[in-house]
Homo-oligomer: A and B are copies of this chain.
Amino acid sequence: MTKWVYSFSASKTEGSKDQKNLLGGKGANLAEMSSLGLPVPPGFTVSTEACLDYYKQDKSISTEIRNQVYAALAEVENITGKKFGDPKNPLLFSVRSGARVSMPGMMDTVLNLGMNDETVKGLAKITDNPRFAWDSYRRFIQMFSNVVLGINTSILESQLEDLKEARGVHEDTELDAEDLAELVDVYKQILGEEFGKSFPQDPYEQLWSAVGAVFGSWNNPRAFKYRQMNGYSHDWGTAVNVQSMVFGNAGDTSGTGVCFTRDPSNGEKIFFGEYLMNAQGEDVVAGIRTPAPINEVSKNESNRNLKTLEETSKSVYDELVSIYQKLEQHYKDMQDIEFTIEDGKLFILQTRNGKRTINAALKIAIDLVAEGILTEKEALMKINPGELDRLLHPRLDPAVKKTILATGLPASPGAACGKIVFDSEVAQDWAANGTKVILVRQETSPEDIGGMNASEGILTARGGMTSHAAVVARGMGKPCVAGCTALEISYKHKVLRVSGKEFQEGDFLTFDGGTGEVYEGEIPTIDAKISDHFATFMKWADENRSLRIRTNADNPQDAQVALSFGAEGIGLCRTEHMFFDPARILAVREMIFAITEEDRKKALDKLLPYQREDFIGLFKVMDGRPVNIRLLDPPLHEFLPHKESEMQELADVLGVDVKIIEQRQESLHEFNPMLGHRGCRLGVTYPEIYNMQVRAIAEAAAEVGKSGTAVMPEIMIPLISDEKELAILKDHALSILAEVESTTNQKIKFKIGTMLELPRACITADKVAHTAEFFSFGTNDLTQTTYGLSRDDSGKFLPQYEAKGIFPVDPFVSIDQEGVGFLVEHAVKAGRSVNSELSCGICGEHGGEPESIDFCHRAGLNYVSCSPYRVPVARLAAAQANLRNS
C-alpha cells in the first residue's frame, strides 16, 4: 500500500528535509523542525503523489488516501487532546499548499478549518474569548468561500466595511463578538442567496473540499504561468499540509511575526523581523496595522515608536533567538521564519531559506564559510549562477515610477535608456554625436552589427531567445528585449506603435533586458557595482570545476572583457561579423559577384590583410590561450546590399548595370537559407574563400608568434554532415598552413576540427573523429535541425507550446537533454571511441545556461563557451555541476 500521508509532531515524525519532492518544501521543513524538537503545532502532510493521484482519479480523493488522513488526524487529536468538530474543545486546522520549490502566493491556503456554528461556541467558551472565536469563524468563511467555493469575496469584505461604518469604528478589532456573529450570519446568507452555495457545517466535508481545492490550485493559471517562467515541471504536483491551528489572534498575549536571520538585501549578519500582537498572518500581509520591530536593529522610520518583542516578551524573544541560531546551523543557510505566539507560548510555523539579492547571497555564503557553518563546496551550491549576471549590468533606478508599455523576451540583461531609432546607420550617426540611442527593429541582421554596437540597447518585435539580436547583444553585453510582439513598427514612417501610443524617431524609451519590460520615457539607470566577495567566490568556483570556460568573441574588445571575467580561451570567433565592416563589405560583395575563380581570388586578396589584422589582434589579447575560429558560415546572400544606393555603388565598381545586381540577388535567394548553401558547403564549392581565411589565420599566427607571444589557433569547419567534407577542407587548410610555414619560416601550432551542428554529423561522429582534432557542438543549429524548428520563425507558436506544456522550457534557452542531448552524448562517445584525445566543447548559446552546463559536464565535454558576460555564470555553474555529479 502506498503511503500517502506523513505525520509530524514532537512524538512522531515520518518525514525529513530531504523529502521535498514527496512532501513539498513546507512539509519537509515542518517534519524536520518537529524532529529537531522545535515547537511546531502537530499535523500531517498529504504527499505530492496524492496530488498526482487526485488528477489521475479525475479530481477525486481516493478512499485509501482518506483513510490515511483519518488515522493521521486521530493522532493529532490524541496529541492535542482536542477533537475535530468537537463542540466543546474543537481541533482546528490550517490547510496549506507546498510544492517542492517555493511558489510564493501562487497556490491556496485555508485557515481555521473546522469552525462551524457549534465549534465556534466551544472555542469561545474554552478560550473565554467569544470575540476571538467569532472573528476566527468569520475569517474562515471568507477564506473558504474564496478558495474552496471559488467566489470573489469582495462582496463579503464590503459587508465588513459596512458593519464598521454602521458601528462607527475604524479597526476590525473594535468590532465585538456580537458584531462578528451578525457578520457570520450575513455571510452565510449572501453565500446562499447570491451564489446558491451553502457553507458546509461538517468539518470533514470542509477538509476534503479544502484539500481538493489546494490540489486544484496547482493548475490555476498563475501557478502554471509561474512554473513556466521558472522552468519548473507541471508534473510535480503540490503536497497539502494539514496542521493544527495556533492563534496569534487569541488575545493580547498572542501574536504573529516574521523574522530573517540575516539581512536579505545586503547579507549583513543581523537578526531582524517584525510582529503584530493579537493578529493572524494575513493581517501582517494586509498592512492593516503597522507591525512592531522584534528588536532594536529592526527599527525603522515607521515602527521606531513601537515596543520591540525583546522588550515586551523577553523570554519569547530569547527562545526565538535560540531557535533561529539552531535553524541556521541546521539548515546551513539564512532563514526566513514565521512564528506565532499563542497565549504567551511560541510556535514556529515555517522556516525556509530566505530569498535575497545576489549581493547578499554572496556575502552570506562567504560569511557562513568564515563562521565554519558551510564548507566552500557547500557555499558554492548556495548561489543561483544565473543571478550572477545581474552583478555585471546596469539596472533601473528602483526609486523611479515606471509605466510598462509592453513585455518581450528578456534576451540580454541590463537596463537601457535612449532615443529610439529604426535604422542602424542613424544609430551610428546619432551615437557619434553623443546621443544615447535605442535601436528598434523588426529583427536584426548581420548588417546591423554597427548600429547595435552604437546603441545603448536593442529592442526587436520578432525573434526568440536565440535570434540574431539576442545572440549578438549578449555577446556585446548590450541590453536587449527581443520578440516584443506588441510593437508595431513602420520603417517607412519611422514610428513605433505600442499599447495605443505612438513614438517617433527621437522619442525616449527605456527597457530592462533582464525582465523584458519596456517603459515609456527616460528612466535613469544605475551602473553595476561588483561586490568584493565576487572574486573570492569565483576563485572557489574555479578550484571546484573540471569544465574549462571559454567565450564567444569576434574581436579583441570582447575578448578582453571576457578575459577580465575569467575566460580561458575563445570557443567561437565568428568570422562573418568581420565581413560587415564598411571598409570591407564592398570587397566581400565583389567576391560574391565574381564569375571566375580568378576574379573571386582578386576580391579575396583585398580582404586578406583585413582578416589577418583581425586575427593578430585576437591572438595578442588571448596570449597563448586557445582561439577557435569558425570559417565563413552564413549563406553569401546575407552580405548582399539591400539599399538602392548600395546596389548602384556595387554596380559601378563591377562596371555592370544595376539590373545585373538585382538579378544575381534573386538567383542567390534561398527558400530555407538555414538549410542552404552555407558553412562548409561554401568551402567545398568556393575553396578560395576558406583558403583566404586559413591564410589570414596562418600569417597572423606566424607574425604574432615571431614576437614571442604564444598562439594557439583552432580552425573550425562549420556545418559538416559527412566526414568527407571535413577531409577535403582539412587537406586544403593543411597545404596553406604548410605553405605559410615555409614562406615565413615559422612553425605554427594549430588544430583543425569541426562544429557538430547537424544530426548526421553527430550520428556519424565515429567517422568524423578520424579527421577532426576537436568537436565543438553548435547547439543552436543542432536544436533547429533536431526539432525541425527555425529559431527565427518559432516565435509565432513557441509561446503557445510553452503555455500548453509541450515544451517545459524553450529548447533554445536550455538544451533539450532528451533529443539534442542524445545526439551530443552519442557523438562524444563515438568520437572518443576512435580518438581518445578528442577535445569536445559547446559553443551554442546553451554554453552560458546553468542547466545546460550541468548536462555538458555529465556528457564529458572539455569546455563550454559563452558570451563574455556569461563567463562568471558558467564558471559557477561548472563548479556546481562538478560538485553535484561527483
Q: Which of B671, B684, B804, B823 contacts A673 (CB 8 A)?
A: B671
1/0 per residue, CB under 8 A from B, across A779-819: the answer is 00100111111101110110011001111000000001011
| Whole-angstrom CA separation of A807 from B787 in the bound complex | 24
List B contacts of A792 (CB < 8 A): 670-672
> Do B721 and A684 touch across chains, with their CB atoms under 8 A apart?
no
Interface residues of A in 727-751 (CB under 8 A from B): 728
> Do A684 and B790 touch across chains, with their CB atoms under 8 A apart?
no
Q: Which of B671, B674, B787, B801 contacts A758 (CB 8 A)?
A: B787
The segment from A317-325, A446-454, A675-683 that touches chain B is A675-683
Interface residues of A in 806-851 (CB under 8 A from B): 806-807, 816, 818-820, 822-823
List B contacts of A719 (CB < 8 A): 788
Asked if A760 CB lies within 8 Å of chain B CBs, one says yes
Min C-beta distance of A844 to chain B, whole Å: 14
Min C-beta distance of A679 to chain B, whole Å: 8
List B contacts of A677 (CB < 8 A): 793-794, 796-797
List B contacts of A672 (CB < 8 A): 672-675, 790, 792-793
| Whole-angstrom CA separation of A331 from B183 in the bound complex | 106
Asked if A507 CB lies within 8 Å of chain B CBs, one says no
> Do A759 and B684 touch across chains, with their CB atoms under 8 A apart?
no
> Do A675 and B764 touch across chains, with their CB atoms under 8 A apart?
no
Min C-beta distance of A727 to chain B, whole Å: 9
Asked if A512 CB lies within 8 Å of chain B CBs, one says no
Asked if A685 CB lies within 8 Å of chain B CBs, one says yes
List B contacts of A757 (CB < 8 A): 788
For A673, A675, A722, A819, the residue with the greatest tally of chain B CB atoms inside 10 Å of its CB is: A675
Q: Select from chain B the residue with minimum beta-carbon distance to A679.
A: B788
> Do A807 and B722 touch across chains, with their CB atoms under 8 A apart?
yes
Min C-beta distance of A316 to chain B, whole Å: 52
Asked if A76 CB lies within 8 Å of chain B CBs, one says no
| Whole-angstrom CA separation of A313 from B818 in the bound complex | 77
Q: Which of B763, B806, B819 contacts A728 (CB 8 A)?
A: B806
> Do A786 and B806 touch across chains, with their CB atoms under 8 A apart?
no
List B contacts of A283 (CB < 8 A): none
For A681, A796, A807, A820, the residue with the greatest tally of chain B CB atoms inside 10 Å of its CB is: A681
> Do B805 and A724 touch across chains, with their CB atoms under 8 A apart?
yes
Interface residues of A in 360-411 (CB under 8 A from B): none
Asked if A614 CB lies within 8 Å of chain B CBs, one says no
List B contacts of A576 (CB < 8 A): none
List B contacts of A310 (CB < 8 A): none
For A677, A787, A806, the residue with the greatest tally of chain B CB atoms inside 10 Å of its CB is: A806
> Do B793 and A788 touch across chains, with their CB atoms under 8 A apart?
no
> Do B674 and A763 touch across chains, with their CB atoms under 8 A apart?
no
> Do B823 and A763 touch across chains, with their CB atoms under 8 A apart?
yes
> Do B819 and A721 touch across chains, with their CB atoms under 8 A apart?
yes
Asked if A86 CB lies within 8 Å of chain B CBs, one says no
> Do B728 and A760 touch across chains, with their CB atoms under 8 A apart?
no
List B contacts of A760 (CB < 8 A): 786-788, 816, 819-820
1/0 per residue, CB under 8 A from B, across A612-637: the answer is 00000000000000000000000000
Asked if A77 CB lies within 8 Å of chain B CBs, one says no
Provided the pairs A684-B806, A763-B822, A806-B724 are in contact, do residues A793 and B670 lie with their beta carbons within 8 angstroms? yes
Provided the pairs A722-B807, A788-B758, A790-B672 are in contact, do residues A797 and B764 lie with their beta carbons within 8 angstroms? no
| Whole-angstrom CA separation of A221 from B233 in the bound complex | 59
- In the assembly, how many copies of this chain are there? 2
> Do B819 and A759 touch across chains, with their CB atoms under 8 A apart?
yes
List B contacts of A759 (CB < 8 A): 759, 785-786, 788, 819, 823
| Whole-angstrom CA separation of A788 from B724 in the bound complex | 16
For A676, A757, A793, the residue with the greatest tally of chain B CB atoms inside 10 Å of its CB is: A793
Asked if A522 CB lies within 8 Å of chain B CBs, one says no
> Do A818 and B763 touch across chains, with their CB atoms under 8 A apart?
yes
Min C-beta distance of A830 to chain B, whole Å: 11
Asked if A725 CB lies within 8 Å of chain B CBs, one says yes
| Whole-angstrom CA separation of A804 from B816 in the bound complex | 35
Min C-beta distance of A300 to chain B, whole Å: 50
> Do B793 and A684 touch across chains, with their CB atoms under 8 A apart?
no
| Whole-angstrom CA separation of A786 from B720 in the bound complex | 11
Min C-beta distance of A636 to chain B, whole Å: 11
List B contacts of A721 (CB < 8 A): 786-789, 819
> Do B670 and A728 touch across chains, with their CB atoms under 8 A apart?
no
Q: Select from chain B the residue with minimum beta-carbon distance to A721.
A: B787
> Do A788 and B788 touch across chains, with their CB atoms under 8 A apart?
no
Provided the pairs A685-B800, A806-B684, A823-B759 are in contact, do residues A675 and B784 lie with their beta carbons within 8 angstroms? yes
> Do B797 and A684 touch across chains, with their CB atoms under 8 A apart?
yes
Q: Which of B788, B796, B800 contacts A675 (CB 8 A)?
A: B788
List B contacts of A758 (CB < 8 A): 786-788
Provided the pairs A722-B807, A819-B760, A819-B764 are in contact, do residues A790 and B685 lie with their beta carbons within 8 angstroms? no
> Do A793 and B722 touch across chains, with their CB atoms under 8 A apart?
no
Provided the pairs A673-B672, A797-B681 are in contact, do residues A788 and B785 lie with their beta carbons within 8 angstroms? yes
> Do A763 and B819 touch across chains, with their CB atoms under 8 A apart?
yes
Q: Select from chain B the residue with minimum beta-carbon distance to A668.
A: B796
Min C-beta distance of A804 to chain B, whole Å: 7
| Whole-angstrom CA separation of A805 from B722 in the bound complex | 11
1/0 per residue, CB under 8 A from B, across A750-787: the answer is 00000001111001100000000000000001001111
| Whole-angstrom CA separation of A763 from B725 in the bound complex | 25
Min C-beta distance of A125 to chain B, whole Å: 55
Q: Select from chain B the residue with minimum beta-carbon distance to A635.
A: B793
List B contacts of A807 (CB < 8 A): 722
Q: Select from chain B the residue with minimum beta-carbon distance to A443.
A: B671
| Whole-angstrom CA separation of A673 from B671 in the bound complex | 7
1/0 per residue, CB under 8 A from B, across A584-617: the answer is 0000000000000000000000000000000000
Min C-beta distance of A31 to chain B, whole Å: 34
List B contacts of A797 (CB < 8 A): 677, 681, 684-685
> Do B790 and A670 touch across chains, with their CB atoms under 8 A apart?
yes
Interface residues of A in 645-682 (CB under 8 A from B): 670-677, 681
Q: Select from chain B the residue with minimum beta-carbon distance to A674.
A: B672
List B contacts of A786 (CB < 8 A): 721, 758-760, 763, 785
Q: Which of B675, B794, B796, B823 contacts A790 (CB 8 A)?
A: B675
Provided the pairs A797-B681, A801-B684, A806-B724 are in contact, do residues A764 and B676 lie with their beta carbons within 8 angstroms? no
| Whole-angstrom CA separation of A796 from B681 in the bound complex | 10
List B contacts of A788 (CB < 8 A): 674-675, 719, 721, 757-760, 781, 785
Q: Select from chain B the residue with minimum beta-carbon distance to A784.
A: B675
List B contacts of A681 (CB < 8 A): 797, 801
> Do B671 and A790 touch across chains, with their CB atoms under 8 A apart?
yes
Q: Select from chain B the residue with minimum beta-carbon distance to A822.
A: B763
| Whole-angstrom CA separation of A800 from B682 in the bound complex | 11
List B contacts of A800 (CB < 8 A): 684-685
List B contacts of A805 (CB < 8 A): 724
> Do B764 and A818 touch across chains, with their CB atoms under 8 A apart?
yes
Min C-beta distance of A64 to chain B, whole Å: 25
A672-B674, A763-B823, A785-B788 given; name 19 further pairs at CB < 8 Å.
A671-B674, A672-B672, A672-B675, A672-B793, A675-B675, A675-B790, A676-B793, A677-B793, A684-B797, A684-B804, A685-B800, A721-B786, A721-B789, A722-B806, A722-B807, A724-B804, A724-B805, A760-B788, A763-B818
Q: List 26 A-B contacts (CB under 8 A).
A: A671-B790, A672-B673, A672-B674, A673-B793, A674-B674, A674-B675, A674-B788, A675-B675, A675-B784, A675-B789, A677-B793, A677-B794, A681-B801, A684-B804, A685-B800, A721-B819, A722-B806, A725-B806, A758-B787, A759-B788, A759-B819, A760-B820, A763-B823, A764-B819, A781-B788, A785-B788
Leading 7 A-B pairs by shortest Cβ distance: A675-B790, A760-B819, A672-B790, A758-B788, A676-B793, A759-B759, A671-B792
